[in-house]
Amino acid sequence: MSVQQLFDLTGKVAFITGGSRGLGLQMAEALGELGASVAISARKEHELEAAKAHLDGLGVKVVTIAADLGNLEGIPGVVDQVVEQLGDIDILVNNAGATWGAPAEDYPAEGWMKVMNLNVNASFFLTQTVGKRCMIPRKTGKIINIASIAGLSGNPEGMQTIAYNTSKGAMVNFTRALASEWGRHNINVNALCPGFFPSKMSQGLLDAQGDSMLQRIPLNRFGGEEDLKGAAVLMASEAGRHITGQCLAVDGGTLVA
């Protein structure tokens, strides 16, 4: 098999949660460019419509699903919609997430539950549903969990996101544990751990601390619109077929500084 064939996703179906903007849309572009049919979910219809128009313009076959994955009871119905419109899911990208900023000693229960429910619970139950319905019976699948370097370390001074960090640490070990269990089904489970990428979620932090954060990045730049694409394609394609249980930091060197 040629290297080009190893990265080819023609005929594959990818489901990307939180795919209407930011890193999710970036990965949808990448997987679609290499031939995958793409389903993206998000809560807001207008953002999904804009994302679909954008992906249509790139020649990507895409369907959109408006859903709040924090409503765990609705997850089987979301998977039903993807399968009915595109077929069995070959690639699942658990990207949807939330954050909440507050000092640990005053962290509200509402914020903790919101972050953990979407970032951890929804990812697990969606993965379980997709695995049982689409991947285990066919003995094939690629699962990509979007963790964060926040799940691999503590916080720089001034950042108060203990629930987010905890949730992303959970996703790191969820990745390792599931890779150990589902390897026998020929399912690869890996995590991408982005560093600081400008996004709607991170904008407030970057506005307040952007200059000092930049000084801690050896490559001296934040993540850009192309910087997660290659890693996502590697984990989604046959090029990464002997990689599982791994957590790849895409952070400009932040963790090693």
Q: Could you list the active site residues?
A: 164
How far apart, in Å, are the Cα atoms of 62 and each of 146, 151, 172, 181?
Answer: 21, 31, 29, 31
DSSP β-bridge partners for residue 250: 194
Contacts of 149 by beta carbon, 8 Å cutoff, 6+ apart = 193, 194, 195, 249, 251, 254, 255
Q: Are 66 and 48 in contact (CB under 8 A)?
A: yes
Tokens for 86, please give them.
């595109």
Rounded CA-CA distance 148/173 in Å is: 12
Q: Are 59 and 80 in contact (CB under 8 A)?
A: no
Q: Are 210 and 145 in contact (CB under 8 A)?
A: no
